[in-house]
Structure 1
Amino acid sequence: MTVASQVKQTLASLKGIHAGLQQLALTSQDETAQRTFHEAMLTTEEIIAELKDRVGRLEFEEPQYHGK
């Protein structure tokens, strides 16, 4: 498995985690838990953005990774 495919796979997993945290933040009854899930969700958004940038750089630097 190439580095690009590993990064893309990690990105997909992190998007799923983000969706799960979002759901937990919306459905939790405890305000502290809601805040914690929301903060974790925001952190995953930052990481997702960084990984998307990394995928773009990998595809630019190594055209064979584009679209895989």
Structure 2
Amino acid sequence: MTVASQAKQTLAGLKSAQASLETIALQTKNQQAKQMYQDAAQQTQTILNNLSPRVNEIEAEEPQYKQ
């Protein structure tokens, strides 16, 4: 598995985790728990925002890794 494909797989997993956190935040009635899940989803989004450009850089540096 190439670095680019591993990074893409990581992005997909993070997007899935973020969606789960947002869903749980919407479903929970406990305000403290809701805030915790919302904060975690926001932190995950920050990570996604930082990682996405890196995946593009990897693909640009190594065109053979583009899938």
Residue type at the aligned position of 1:65: Y
Residue type at the aligned position of 1:4: A
Matches of 2:52 and 2:65, distance apart in 1 = 14
Q: Give 1:50 deviation, angstroms.
A: 1.2
Paired position in structure 1 for 2:31: 31
Segments of structure 1 that go 5 or more residues without pairing to the other structure are none
1:63 pairs with 2:63: yes
Paired position in structure 2 for 1:10: 10
TM-score, structure 1 normalization = 0.94
Q: Give 1:2 deviation, angstroms.
A: 0.7
Residue type at the aligned position of 1:22: E
SS at 1:23's partner residue? helix
Matches of 1:65 and 1:23, distance apart in 2 = 34
TM-score, structure 2 normalization = 0.95
Segments of structure 2 that go 5 or more residues without pairing to the other structure are none
Higher relative contact order, chain-length normalized (CA < 8 Å, sep 6+): 2
Q: Give 1:10 deviation, angstroms.
A: 0.6
